[in-house]
């Protein structure tokens, strides 16, 4: 058996393969430069163009571009009128920003446990967490696989509350043949460089509800009812501030990049799916490696490829597998430390281990493998080889 790099053996590859990487080409650069030479650097025509192309992509009536995925979540929760004292049910298996956006509005995140095979929030746990104070469900499409939107939508409907979707992982995903973006009351996307397409930093909220879209447009512009571009067109100085908003505007420079990136999404998504399928096929022969279950009524956006280690089949823990794979120059990662276990949340909400046992148990076993569209066949082969090398060395 080959000696592990962590024990002084030769690494599977000479350079670190990151878990995710953006792709910017000459067309993207040209689009940005053209905007830099134009009249409008922000609140200009590129914003609307990018929003319209994005709306078409996700099949939603309205899209509102903002300067981060976190801002998109904040705007979505503001739009459905989340207020201090309200409760919003969400998943612990996510990036902290999901739950943070609830706290920004003075509301309380309530963590519902996940399903053991997909690590998406469990509708039964959500149902059990609904109280008279609950005003919304904030579901996360973990790794890119849509959450149980039908079940969660029914729960929201019968409770008279909103369903907001954190689709930061799920641009291009579908649920029962419908694209993610026009299904929940509001869907929030991120265009951070590790995500499907990038605008440097950025986010997008999508909705089919005109009123909610209007509220999100105010919210990203200080709570003001018209923007600079509209006033220029109307030759008017008049505006009104009607709510406390923020400056969450996404500049035209970034929108030009997003519009150009969007043209490549289809090809990138196909490549992500292809790599994910290659991994899943290869891991069938490795009992210590369990990919997440994929439900047959939806397609994943494949932002992340997450596996669960069968720790009963290994004589080491996840930390040692992680270190050994990093030594082989495979940039594995862990998504995520359950949000309720972060010191801030323990202190703020009094959460503790035991609150979401399925998520906590999964956290001990998960590993994210590299997945991005510009990975070569050789890169994919290296990952499979390294995972096989490390897990067979550590197998019982």
Q: CB burial class (10 A; 0-12, 13-18, 19+) of residue 142?
A: buried
Q: Looking only at residues 212 through 231 of this chain, which bind ligand PLP when binding is defined by CB under 6 A?
A: none
Work out whether 97 is an interface residue with ligand PLP (CB under 6 A). yes
Cα dist. 112→96, 99, 130 in Å?
15, 12, 10
Say how far apart CA 391 and CA 385 lie, in whole Å: 10
Work out whether 12 is an interface residue with ligand PLP (CB under 6 A). no
Contact with ligand PLP (CB under 6 A) among 42, 63, 70, 134: 70
**Are 308 and 365 within 8 A, CB to CB?**
yes
# of chain residues touching ligand PLP (CB under 6 A): 14
Q: Strands, DSSP E only, in the chain? A: 62-66, 87-90, 108-111, 134-140, 162-166, 174-175, 178-179, 186-190, 203-207, 289-291, 298-299, 305-309, 366-369
Say how far apart CA 317 and CA 194 lie, in whole Å: 27
Stretch of 90-98, 212-220, 326-334, 383-391 contacting ligand PLP, by CB under 6 A: 90-98
Structure tokens at 171: 């641009």
- Using the minimum distance from each CB to ligand PLP, give the nearer residue, 135 or 303: 303
Structure tokens at 82: 């989340």
Active site residue 348: no
Say how far apart CA 304 and CA 59 lie, in whole Å: 23
Q: Which of 387, 333, 22, 388 is nearest to 198 (CA)?
A: 22
One of 10, 49, 135, 195 is an active-site residue; which one? 195
Contact with ligand PLP (CB under 6 A) among 95, 248, 268, 322: 95
Smallest distance, Å, CB 212 to ligand PLP?
A: 19
Stretch of 89-97, 146-154, 340-348, 388-396 contacting ligand PLP, by CB under 6 A: 89-97
Q: Looking only at residues 103 through 162 of this chain, which bind ligand PLP when binding is defined by CB under 6 A?
A: 140
Cα dist. 311→106, 213, 289, 342, 396 in Å?
40, 46, 9, 24, 10
Contact with ligand PLP (CB under 6 A) among 13, 192, 249, 318: 192
- Using the minimum distance from each CB to ligand PLP, give the nearer residue, 62 or 335: 335
Work out whether 94 is an interface residue with ligand PLP (CB under 6 A). yes
What does DSSP assign to residue 293? P
Structure tokens at 177: 């043949």
Work out whether 22 is an interface residue with ligand PLP (CB under 6 A). no
Smallest distance, Å, CB 152 to ligand PLP?
A: 16
Contact with ligand PLP (CB under 6 A) among 43, 63, 68, 115: 68
Smallest distance, Å, CB 205 to ligand PLP?
A: 12
Place of tokens 């024990």: 7
Place of tokens 């080491």: 316
Stretch of 91-99, 262-270, 322-330, 371-379 contacting ligand PLP, by CB under 6 A: 91-99
Work out whether 255 is an interface residue with ligand PLP (CB under 6 A). no
Work out whether 275 is an interface residue with ligand PLP (CB under 6 A). no
Work out whether 351 is an interface residue with ligand PLP (CB under 6 A). no
User: Which residues contact ligand PLP (rule: CB under 6 A)?
Assistant: 68-70, 94-95, 97-98, 140, 166, 168-169, 190, 192, 203
Please list the active-site residues.
195
């Amino acid at each position: 058996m080959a000696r592990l790099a962590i024990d002084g053996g030769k690494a599977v590859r000479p350079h670190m393969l990151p878990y995710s990487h953006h792709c910017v080409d000459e067309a993207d650069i040209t689009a940005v430069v053209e905007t830099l030479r134009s009249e409008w650097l922000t609140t200009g025509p590129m914003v609307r163009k990018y929003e319209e192309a994005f709306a078409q992509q996700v099949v939603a009536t309205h899209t509102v571009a903002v300067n981060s995925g976190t801002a998109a979540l904040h705007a979505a929760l503001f739009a459905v009128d989340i207020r201090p004292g309200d409760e919003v049910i969400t998943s612990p298996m996510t990036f902290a920003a999901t739950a943070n956006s609830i706290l920004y509005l003075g509301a309380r995140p309530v963590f519902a446990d996940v399903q053991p095979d997909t690590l998406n929030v469990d509708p039964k746990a959500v149902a059990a967490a609904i109280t008279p104070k609950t005003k919304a469900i904030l579901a996360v499409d973990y790794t890119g696989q849509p959450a149980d939107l039908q079940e969660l939508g029914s729960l929201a409907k019968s409770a008279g509350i909103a369903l907001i979707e954190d689709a930061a992982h799920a641009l291009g995903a579908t649920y029962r043949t419908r694209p993610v973006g026009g299904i929940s009351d509001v869907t929030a996307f991120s265009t951070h460089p590790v995500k499907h397409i990038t605008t440097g930093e950025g986010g997008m909220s999508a909705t089919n509800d005109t009123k909610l879209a209007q509220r999100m447009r105010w919210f990203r512009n200080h709570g003001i009812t018209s923007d600079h571009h509209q006033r220029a067109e109307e030759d008017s100085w008049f505006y009104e501030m009607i709510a406390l908003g923020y400056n969450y505007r996404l500049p035209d420079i970034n929108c030009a990049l997003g519009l150009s990136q969007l043209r490549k999404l289809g090809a990138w998504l196909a490549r992500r799916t292809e790599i994910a399928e290659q991994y899943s096929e290869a891991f069938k022969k490795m009992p210590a490696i369990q990919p997440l279950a994929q439900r047959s009524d939806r397609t994943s956006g494949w932002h992340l490829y997450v596996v669960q280690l069968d720790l009963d089949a290994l004589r080491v823990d996840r930390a040692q597998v992680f270190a050994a794979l990093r030594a082989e120059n495979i940039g594995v990662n862990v998504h995520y430390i359950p949000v309720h276990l972060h010191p801030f949340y323990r202190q703020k909400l009094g959460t503790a281990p035991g609150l979401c046992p399925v998520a906590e148990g999964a956290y001990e076993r998960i590993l994210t493998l590299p997945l991005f569209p510009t990975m070569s066949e050789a890169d994919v082969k290296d990952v499979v080889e390294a995972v096989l090398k490390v897990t067979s060395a550590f197998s019982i």
